[in-house]
Amino acid sequence: MMNAAHLNEVAVRLRQAQERCQPCEPVASRLPIGDLAAAYAVQDLNTAYWQSRGRRLVGRKIGLTSAVVQVQLGVDQPDYGMLFADMAFVDGDDLQAAAVLQPRLEAEVALVLEDDLRHERHTPADIVSSVAYALPALEVVGCRIANWNISIVDTIADNASSGQFVLGSVPRRLDDFDHSLCGMTLMKEGQPVSTGVGRACLGNPINAARWLADTMVRVGRPLVAGDIIMTGALGPMVPVAPGDAFEARIHGLGAVRAAFH
């Protein structure tokens, strides 16, 4: 068990990387090998730090939902990170590329909850009945670790590599689209740069949300009405640079756009 002072030192290192716009070396070497609990403890320290400074928690993101990425990082489950209100943007917004360190972009299905999810074990029906609506979304993934040289411990400690997210503006009911087979195309300047389908996200974004709901109850941070869930990438993420403009289209959900300066 690591002492609190050491965990806080790692948390400060990640915060300073963001505040100074200077990525740091991997933090995994400063934590026990493969110790996910220590990594989440670092994430929790920074969550508490930002909340104490007025940032409002509005939901969670799910990472590592791709089986291929899980194999690459040597894990058999997703991870999660916190979403704050100041990370949220709306369809068509102009974003500052430099606001996120080493930004990359991925398209996702976002869910917004109507009811709390507080059961120890949720069923798919619990998730479906608790979702108010779905939106097409873009996640601007960021990394405080230099050159994206990350292990599972690094990305968890780094708030699951969270950056910003952009939500579409037309809510859809869950029965308006096929969660598993919805096709996604992410375009840059009108040219496809990433494609995927709902099943790439743990077989179905609802499965991802169910995993998250169970996990959040277990760690004492249950999802509640109004929370936003970024369910995970439907296709490969792509790099972002100033001047880029993207549009993601998800069958049955519509489109969401963002430009970067």
By C-alpha distance, which of 124, 125, 116, 158 is closest to 141? 158
**What does R_g of the chain's alpha carbons equal in angstroms?**
17
Per-residue pLDDT of the chain (261 residues; tens, 9 = 90+): 568 889 999 999 999 999 999 999 999 989 988 899 999 999 999 999 999 999 999 999 999 887 767 776 667 789 999 999 999 999 999 999 999 999 999 999 999 999 999 999 999 999 999 999 999 999 999 999 999 998 999 999 999 999 999 999 999 999 999 999 999 999 999 999 999 999 999 999 999 999 999 999 999 999 999 999 999 999 989 999 999 999 999 999 999 999 999
Span 158-167, pLDDT tens digits? 999 999 999 9
Span 110-140, pLDDT tens digits? 999 999 999 999 999 999 999 999 999 999 9
Predicted pLDDT at 70: 72
Predicted pLDDT at 34: 83
Q: How far apart are CA 248 and CA 186, in angstroms?
A: 4
Q: How many structural domains does the chain have?
A: 1
What contacts 18, CB < 8 A, 6 or more positions away? 101, 144
1 touches 127 (CB < 8 A): no
What contacts 96, CB < 8 A, 6 or more positions away? 260, 261
How much is the pTM? 0.96
Predicted pLDDT at 66: 78
CATH number at residue 89: 3.90.850.10
Predicted pLDDT at 48: 97
Domain containing residue 80: 4-260
Predicted pLDDT at 168: 97
Predicted pLDDT at 68: 67
User: Which tokens is 14 given?
Assistant: 């990640």
Q: How far apart are CA 49 and CA 43, in angstroms?
A: 10
